[in-house]
Amino acid sequence: MNHDFSKLPDIIEKHPKSPQSLIAVLQDIQKEYHYLPCEALKLTAEALDLPLSKVFSVSTFYNAFSLDPRGEKVIRICTGTTCHIRGAKQIEHQLETQLNIKSGETTEDMKFTLEVVNCVGACAMAPVVIVNDEYFGSVKLTDTRKLLKGGNNAN
């Protein structure tokens, strides 16, 4: 992974230099790189004058942060209660088998990351799968291959 880390100081600069900004800074870094590179954690700790252990603890506590690089397409399966009773588990299982990874993992070619996410609040259209930022509702077991291919005609 080669990253252009020159953007990091600008991202950090945008926030007030206070411990209260820690989560917001990490969220912006995660948004830019889709994960939190080790260098970023060190820079954040220095900039906000916090121990690195503190930055590490916050970045591992919240589900929104990932310390591992993620794939081009992040597939998130909603596992809210409604999605669960309408078959989210089976959809997760199907995608795991088709991609040959467990949820939380990324394919070797860095194309796909499979994740489960707690309720996204779109329960009326359960079960829901989100591919990058696109929401697909009432997903059927037979739709999974379409989701992996392009996604656009899945619904």
Partner 1 sequence: MVIEPRGTLYPRVKVKDVEKIIESSIVNDEPEKTLLYSPNGNSSSVEKYKNIPFYAKQQRIALRNLGMIDQYRIEDYIATGGYQGLAKALTDMTPETIVDEVKQSGLRGRGGAGFSAGRKWATCASAEETPHYVICNGDEGDPGAFMDRSIMEGDPHSVLEGMIICARAVNSHEGYIYVREEYPLAIMNLQLAIEQATSYGLLGDNILGTGFSFTLKVSKGGGAFVCGESSALMRSVGGDVGEPRAKYVRSVLKGLHDKPTVLNNVESFANIPPIIVNGGKWFASIGTEKSTGTKAFSLVGKVRNTGLIEVPMGTTLREIIYDIGGGIQDDRPFKAVQTGGPSGGCLPKEKLDLPVDFDSLTEADSMMGSGGMIVMDDQTCVVDLAKYFLKFLVEESCGKCTPCREGLYQLHSLVDKMSDGRAVESDLVLAENLSKSIMIGSLCGLGKSGPNPFISTLKYFREEYIAHIRDKKCPAKVCPSLISYEIIEGPCDGCMACAPACAVKAITGEKGKLHVIDQNICDRCGACKAICTRQAIEIH
Smallest distance, Å, CB 75 to partner 1? 15
Q: Which residue has the tokens 């020159």?
A: 6
Q: Which is nearer to partner 1, 121 or 150 (CB)?
A: 121
- Of positions 17, 111, 140, 149, contacts partner 1 by CB under 8 A: 140
- Amino acid present at 3: H
Interaction of residue 5 with partner 1, rule CB under 8 A: no
Task: Of 140, 143, 114, give the one whose Cα is nearest residue 125.
Answer: 140
CB atoms within 10 A of CB 147: 24
Smallest distance, Å, CB 129 to partner 1? 14
Which phi and psi angles does 125 have, rounded to 5°? -115, 30
Identify which range of 2-10, 35-43, 106-114, 117-125 contacts partner 1 by CB under 8 A.
117-125
Interaction of residue 67 with partner 1, rule CB under 8 A: no
Number of residues that bind partner 1 (CB under 8 A): 43
Interaction of residue 23 with partner 1, rule CB under 8 A: yes
The DSSP H or E segment spanning 134 is strand 134-136
Smallest distance, Å, CB 110 to partner 1? 22
**Sign (positive or negative) of CA dihedral 57, 3, 115, 81:** positive
Interaction of residue 12 with partner 1, rule CB under 8 A: no
- Of positions 3, 42, 84, 146, contacts partner 1 by CB under 8 A: 84
CB atoms within 10 A of CB 76: 19
